[in-house]
Copies of this chain bind each other. A is one copy, B any other.
Amino acid sequence: MLLCDIGNTSYHFLKDDFDYKEDVKVFNPSDVKGLVYYICVNTEIKKILLKLNNWIDISKKIDKTAYYETMGIDRIIICESIQDGVIIDAGSAVTVDIVNNGVFEGGFIYPGIKAMSDTYKNISSALNYEFNFDLNLESLPKNSRDSISYAYLKLIYTEVISLNKAIYLTGGDSLKFSKIFKNAKIDKNLIFRAMLKYI
């Protein structure tokens, strides 16, 4: 069975236990001949897939009434997969969603690592550093690299920890963020496990 989670930058496939990505700019979905069960937050690609009979949109099977209208289907389906906790999905954006006793409480959207790193680089070439995920979050920074790393990582850390819930970490950058959220349950393919329920 072939599953696919389509985001802003890539098609993320799962074939049996093997997952791989294809760039949205170059991949042609009509090259896939078998059935594909998918969800998609990319509005341009949504239009293309509607014309392909072997691409099955499983978002129609999900009750979205507990969520808000413009909320990404990837966030919704992951929220539906847990009973209680904070879900951090670290991809091109980092979405943080809170589920309390099976009810979606709200969430927020933070820039992903690459997007935020580019932001600093564009503000000034003096801020062109990779984030330091080994940063000591207890101590105020006194160098440029740690000054941007602290802003990016400590601020989301404090907010998530203050929610006082179990933390689920997923998405392509989940391993990097696990250095900050040391007690999080890491499941890079949580989205696929969540999708399987609807097939």
Contacts and interface: CB of A to CB of B under 8 A. Distances in A.
Contacts of A106: 139-142
Given A111-B123, A126-B43, A127-B93, A70 B158 contact: no
A70 B150 contact: no
Given A93-B120, A98-B140, 9 more contacts: A41-B124, A72-B126, A92-B123, A93-B127, A106-B140, A108-B141, A108-B151, A111-B123, A116-B119
B126 A122 contact: no
A16 interface: no
A155 interface: yes
Contact of A123 (B93, B108, B122): B93
A50 interface: no
Interface of A: 8, 41, 43, 67-72, 92-93, 96, 98, 105-112, 115-116, 118-120, 122-127, 139-144, 147-148, 150-151, 154-156, 158-159, 162
By CB atoms of chain B within 10 A, which of A43, A144, A162 has the most? A144
Contact of A148 (B68, B109, B144): B109
Contact of A110 (B96, B151, B162): B151
Given A93-B123, A155-B159, A159-B158, A140 B109 contact: no
